[in-house]
A and B are shown apart, each in its own frame.
Chain A
């Protein structure tokens, strides 16, 4: 390893431009003649659009056009789609309601766009948008998924009777029922997972530029996957064929899943650019982000677990209702199914699992993948019921988990996943030691002397990353393959460009990907440039989500590096008149082993491009591409231990210690991994304590700004105590598992387990706000007094 190679704490190359304000985001782009878009949005959660009168708006200064859904549909722009087909247990396909980028007939959530104004300035566009008169006829609305399925509930889409999108199941129900029939102990509980707003720092944005002469579009946009955006925009939305559409995702300030999807606004900007003959820019304000970025989570579940006489788990039975909002977003169907129920085995050897999931339309913002996507919901359910069961049977929660751990790999769970590697005892041991679990009692007593209630809780999470083997996901309904591609381009002067289909929007790829190259050739990361986020530059790519950029994206780079290295060695052998097998790469030089002969990397690159002296039949140049399709998911896992202190007077929770022991497989840059864990833990603690997307009964989002939506801040979280244990992933060349989501997946149950331990009441929903904790405490007190 060189100083910049695999495992080194290389400082992030991209941070110089970010920290000095020199990043280039979509809103930094300008094109001559550019107009600004402002959307006219529904103030109602459910209403008929009776008429739209744009006459006053059209007369206002600077207004270029007011466009509506009728024109959009008339121009043949396609409906938004969900790209993952799920079938109900009766074999019928999911019920996809029509979602138009501008709605001409019935609006189904507050903030849905019905028209767009394009004007010379943003202020003019907004003024005119306000002057568009929309006559709505309000309809009754429903925001709760369980209520939406009840008879008499408002109906959202004619396709979906009782608002039911699908009624899906996984696992062997008969085997599960049999296990419950003979169980010695059963724990059952209701578990809900609160709805969240992603809140990327940079709101979504689009700048669309239609070139009439070339019939060609360019779209700058906040995307985690520009090639997928281009594919969907051309194949399904009829915007333009792929070769006539260039999508550029420049610097993007965070995504957390919310920028995977193609939204109405981006489509409308492209269409409006052609319609108006001028480039059109739109940047969401924070309110639009709250109202229209796909939300996350929102599950209500009933869970039951069965034990035998040895406290070994014999079965798990889960029924979940998932709220998908008003429309099916791009990958929404996969989140509460294959990204959720397939993780219900947790770290445990559970012989039989059955899960039924009903997904439901409601008059709320569409819900899709958000950091963790399905796995946080699964982990919360499994780790809450594990903790609860341990308490019910009077066993130490750590020992109960340990007793049921999977210890041999590969392990086939009853819910599709085959875990390839792991050592769950190792991470549990490491976390317990770091948390000084054994001496918790003394700390609890000391806290009590200060009038505080101290509690401890753990979570042994597993998740699935590196999505995913294309054939496997195809058989489960995915509309795309989930491989990744890379191209390694060695320039004649020996500097190297890596073109990747992954996309960095905070992950630090410009650094970690360069470290792979540095490690391989012994060159500095400063001679390596990572190119991503532009469909005209990068061959193709599936983008970044599901912690796949390491396990899948980097694996593609490794494959391309293998090819470059092989060709370079062949050329080096030829130039130094040695045998290919004797060539080694070290410190930026090609050397003949056992001799003092060497060729510096840059000389070899030059030789490949001058092509004056090549081996017989070798093509000039030094550039190779590769596609990598994973063979399995990867399975990061670990143990989180949270310790809290609660102020009984106010119910306020303080997280006083948080230990995270993660197994991410091979780690390329520990500093960047720690940053990912810090962010993930903070989001998870945010979900557990602070964040909640709350709707009132009429369908208004009452937490539509930071005055009411409680984002975690630095002083809401402790200084984290992080460590890693390592089992290599056998499935990919580097042995990587992924680290981008673990923190958000594993932490919520640890926090809630700690609070419920402190207050002696297990009945507590997220977010555990001070008032909820105060009430739970009050409810527990008479019971405690009676003991």
Chain B
């Protein structure tokens, strides 16, 4: 690790000010991605701004519309264990409970996960699958607009994610096929029927541009919510990631398999 300056702001505004001061500053949330990257000397931030002591970024609350607002610095373990989340969006709680291992879940945060937008991360599936809203210190963005590509988001350099708001769906489930080595998602499908009756199928882990929706599956499920409805829908392997763990063909197959399982699990 290179030398760096550590900051511990108490408010989002202070954090934003620190961030704006230097081109080379980085926000630190759970550190589960940033710290290993720094240890491997692949990142060399001049300043590290720790978000974990900002009260505004903490907490899980039920919103007026029956949805859930999760602060950016909330850990995966807190989401997995939250009574509110389990009651309103059980699929989200179980997704969080399947991320990494206990150490990772007690450190890693939802804000860090989505800001990083690793194509193999699980949360992007839930955000897009549930049509969540990302709140930053500057604006609100729909999940569809937030994720823009591999490790790319719509965040501006000095923008900080403060919360994510999920509407409660009528039903939803996440089916994850983990990468055998890293246990990140090799293909994860989040299928949801939202309260307004619309259907979303979001795929993470498989796409070469990160999380994506499968319109054909959404249509099929809108008229017939059953595993059989998606069984015949194949995605193009041309748009899939390919690596030593799974070729594009194999991932394309997994998208269909996991979609069936997600729909079945959602009931």
Contacts and interface: CB of A to CB of B under 8 A. Distances in A.
B65 interface: no
A126 B2 CA distance: 9
Interface string A666-703: 00000000000000000000000010101000000011
For chain A, which range describes its interface: under 10, 10 to 19, 20 to 34, or 35 or more residues?
20 to 34
B41 interface: yes
Interface stretch (B72-80, B126-134, B137-145, B174-182): B174-182
Interface stretch (B158-166, B201-209, B240-248): B240-248
Interface stretch (A456-464, A481-489, A767-775): A767-775
A774 B244 contact: no
Given A123-B3, A650-B254, A774-B250, A708 B40 contact: no
Instruction: Point out which of B41, B244, B257 has the most chain A C-beta atoms below 10 A from its C-beta.
Output: B244
B244 A702 contact: yes
Given A650-B254, A708-B182, A126 B41 contact: yes
A711 B181 CA distance: 7
Contact of B245 (A649, A650, A769): A769
A764 interface: no
- Chain A CB count within 10 A is highest, among B40, B180, B244, B250, for B180
A123 B40 CA distance: 12
A702 B245 CA distance: 11
Given A771-B246, A774-B253, A710 B177 contact: no
Interface in A97-139: 123, 126-127, 130
Contacts of A709: 181
Interface residues of B, number: 17
A18 interface: no
Contacts of B41: 126, 130
B6 to A, nearest CB: 15
A122 to B, nearest CB: 10
B13 interface: no
Contacts of A126: 41
A774 B253 CA distance: 10
B1 interface: yes
Contact of B181 (A123, A287, A710): A710
B235 to A, nearest CB: 15
A771 B179 CA distance: 11
A438 interface: no
Contacts of A650: 177, 253-254, 257
Contact of A123 (B1, B177, B246, B250): B1
Contacts of B3: 123
A129 to B, nearest CB: 10
Interface in A736-782: 769-771, 774-775
A707 interface: yes
Interface string A144-181: 00000000000000000000000000000000000000
B247 A771 contact: yes
B180 A770 contact: yes
Given A706-B182, A708-B245, A774-B250, A287 B257 contact: no
Contact of A710 (B180, B254, B257): B180
Interface in B229-249: 244-247
A81 to B, nearest CB: 33
A480 B241 CA distance: 51
A315 to B, nearest CB: 38
Interface string B14-47: 0000000000000000000000000011000000
B144 to A, nearest CB: 28
A708 B254 CA distance: 19
Contacts of B247: 771
B244 A703 contact: yes
A40 to B, nearest CB: 14
A649 B1 CA distance: 43
Contacts of B180: 690, 710, 769-770
Nearest to A648: B257
Given A650-B177, A690-B180, A771 B250 contact: yes
Contacts of B182: 706-708
A711 B182 CA distance: 9
Interface in A605-653: 649-650
Nearest to A713: B183
B151 to A, nearest CB: 15
Contacts of B250: 770-771, 774-775
Interface of B: 1-3, 40-41, 177, 180-182, 244-247, 250, 253-254, 257
6 contacts: A123-B2, A126-B41, A650-B253, A690-B180, A692-B244, A703-B181
Given A706-B181, A775-B250, 14 more contacts: A123-B3, A130-B41, A649-B253, A649-B257, A650-B177, A650-B257, A690-B180, A690-B181, A692-B244, A703-B181, A708-B181, A708-B182, A770-B180, A771-B245
Interface of A: 123, 126-127, 130, 287, 649-650, 690, 692, 694, 702-703, 706-711, 769-771, 774-775
